Amino acid sequence: MAVIGIDLGTTNSLACVCQDGRAVLIPNSLGEKLTPSVVSVDENGEICVGAVAKERLVSHPEASAASFKRYMGTDKVFTLAGNPFTPQELSSFVLRQLKEDAERFLGEEVTEAVISVPAYFNDNQRYATKEAGRLAGIHVERLVNEPSAAALTASRISGEEEGSYLVFDFGGGTLDVSVVDYFDNVIEIVAVSGDNRLGGDDFDEVIARSFCAHHQMDYDSLEQQRKATLLRLSEKCKRELTRQDETELVWEAEGKKMPLSNLLLAGLSQNLFDRISNVVETALRDSARSIEEMDEIVLVGGSSKMPVVSLYLQTQLKRKPGMVASPDEVVAMGVGIYAGIKERKQDIKDLVLTDICPFTLGTNVVNYVDDDNPIMSAVIERNSVLPCSKTDWYTNACDNQTKIVVGIYQGEAFYCNDNLRLGAIEMDIKPVKKGQTRLRVCFTYDINGILEVEVTDCTNPGQEQTKRKVLTSENLRLSEEEIERRLEELRAYKLMPCGGIRTKMVMARGERLFSQTLGARRQQVTIMMQKIQQAVASRNDQLIARCLKEAEEVFDRLEE
């Protein structure tokens, strides 16, 4: 049974396998390498994943969801056609689809995968990614940071024995910037910074809001389907500006248009560029490196292909970014190679991927000015190489205290309440004077993102008392029983059969174009939709294939 690598992205996802020592990207049922990370529930209760679901974002917004990776590890719930789903459950449908595509491609069962995650993902987000794998029926023992995977691809393509990379990973919903070293078959992340709420989707929204301002419309009050249509048109404009310097956003159904250029988009997006700059500067500062010390700036993620982004980086860093492979594919290729290493394939040289702690882990200490607002005391600081174990000492803050609550927090804020609370250990202590209790707190964080906290009362030698806890965030994490129950429930949702995907895709595209066009162009869509329906009713495979080909050609002309 094969181990595959999966790049589970905000906008698109890819699967990869290692064959004969090289990364081979796995095509989906439409023959494409990229599968949009979009899920939709159709009229029959079947789950559509990928290109079909993306088309239905416009025609059936109430039954479709995208960009749910942004909410991994939170209690956000998406409702699709009346059915509630968590972000990890929606992600599990994407993983199931990739698993089925891989099994068809490889001709064997796939039970295990290595999945990439942003290096800036916190403990809850990493756990949620593994949970998504379990709900998809895939064993996920190892998560690989996206910059590590990108550096692995870059090093293999360049053939260099060692090097330092600034990996700029800008996807649809997240930004990761990392400093990565490669030497002696070791890939080491030196520093990482990121923004989990910044990506190409934000540029779509900037264009959409600008369009609304141009036509005196209120973007926030647009009803769901109109907003989805405008965002889809904005995304189309953004993609056109990757190939040309000027374009026009035309909303035919509304009878409105707006010219757009890369120069104008750069001006509209200044706030986004300021946020990008902060992330880049933090990564370089934490690594104690200058941009001149980087051998290569590696672009990762579809949004990094935008000319306004690459030009901004070139202006800020005084260096032209490189493109060692397609930014859409570079992470998946690296994860695929690592999956081969995990399989112990003989044609791949063994490799060590080191990891770092992306956030500071610490505990609470008393704030004597404000009792309700404890101060963060760092135990393991961000960018510490994993696995890592650190110990610190604490004492009682008041006379005759009988309990000490050791809270465990993750984050960079001064006050604990502004950080992510992972859990707590409560210790009963003997009442003594302030400062006489000796509490040893040890944090151990491993490469799989598992944090163990051990608290020992060492006040009386020979009578030490210890409590330990493997940290979970109970309100966000399912128990074993809940996972098994939800796994059974999700199995009841059937993925669309492979044979009907192309037909469903063309029909969904037709529905979207019908909503976006008027007059003679809308009539062309209507005619083609009726032809497809008649062909499907005939159950004649050759007629259906001819009809779908004709419809795709007509729809391509209409979209041009």
Tokens standing for residue 299: 């672009």
For residue 350, what pLDDT is reported?
63
Cα 156 to Cα 357: distance, rounded to the nearest angstrom: 25
Contact 24, 17 (CB under 8 A): yes
- Give phi and psi for 539, each to the nearest 5: 60, 20
Cα 265 to Cα 287: distance, rounded to the nearest angstrom: 32
Q: How many CB atoms lie within 10 A of CB 371?
A: 9
Q: Is 401 helix (H, G, I), strand (E, B) or coil?
A: coil
Cα 43 to Cα 45: distance, rounded to the nearest angstrom: 6
Regarding beta strands 38-41 and 35-36, do their DSSP bridges make them parallel or antiparallel, or are they unpaired?
A: unpaired
Q: How many CB atoms lie within 10 A of CB 209?
A: 17
Place of tokens 């004709």: 550
Domain boundaries, the chain: 2-198+271-355, 357-460, 498-559
Q: Is 424 helix (H, G, I), strand (E, B) or coil?
A: strand
Contact 7, 13 (CB under 8 A): yes
What are the Cα distances from residue 190, in Å, to 51, 153, 182, 357, 382? Answer: 37, 17, 10, 10, 10
Contact 17, 333 (CB under 8 A): no
Per residue of the chain (560 residues), give pLDDT as tens. 789 999 999 889 999 999 888 899 999 989 999 999 999 999 888 999 999 999 998 889 999 999 999 899 888 999 999 999 999 999 999 999 999 999 999 999 999 999 999 877 877 888 899 999 999 999 998 888 888 888 888 888 877 778 898 999 998 888 989 998 888 778 888 888 888 789 999 999 999 999 999 999 999 999 988 999 999 999 999 999 999 999 999 998 899 999 999 999 999 999 999 999 999 999 999 899 999 999 889 899 889 999 999 999 999 888 888 777 889 999 999 999 888 887 765 555 566 777 778 789 999 999 988 889 999 999 999 888 888 899 999 999 999 999 999 999 988 899 999 998 888 999 999 999 999 999 999 999 887 667 899 999 999 888 899 999 887 555 556 667 777 777 777 777 777 665 577 888 888 888 888 877 878 888 898 998 888 888 888 888 888 888 889 998 999 888 87
Distant-in-sequence, close-in-space partners of 168: CB < 8 Å, separation ≥ 6: 177, 280, 297, 298, 299, 300, 304, 313, 321
Place of tokens 């209760």: 45
Q: What is the pTM of this model?
A: 0.76
Per-position b or e across 473-509, b if 16+ CB within 10 A of its CB? beebebeeeeeeebbeebeebeebeeeebbbbbbbbb
Contact 8, 129 (CB under 8 A): yes
What are the Cα distances from residue 367, in Å, to 378, 381, 397? Answer: 15, 20, 10
For residue 27, give the DSSP letter. P
Place of tokens 């393991």: 380
Contact 199, 309 (CB under 8 A): no
Tokens standing for residue 474: 């109970």
Q: Of 143, 69, 123, nearest to 420 (Cα)?
A: 123
Domain 357-460 has CATH 1.10.10.10: no
Q: What are the residues facing 79 on neighbouring strands?
A: 84
- The residue ranges of DSSP E strands in 9-149, in sequence order, are 12-19, 22-25, 35-36, 38-41, 47-49, 64-66, 78-80, 83-85, 110-117, 143-145
Cα 410 to Cα 420: distance, rounded to the nearest angstrom: 5
Cα 317 to Cα 188: distance, rounded to the nearest angstrom: 22
User: The CATH number of 2-198+271-355 is which of 3.30.70.100, 1.10.274.10, 3.30.420.40, 3.60.110.10?
Assistant: 3.30.420.40
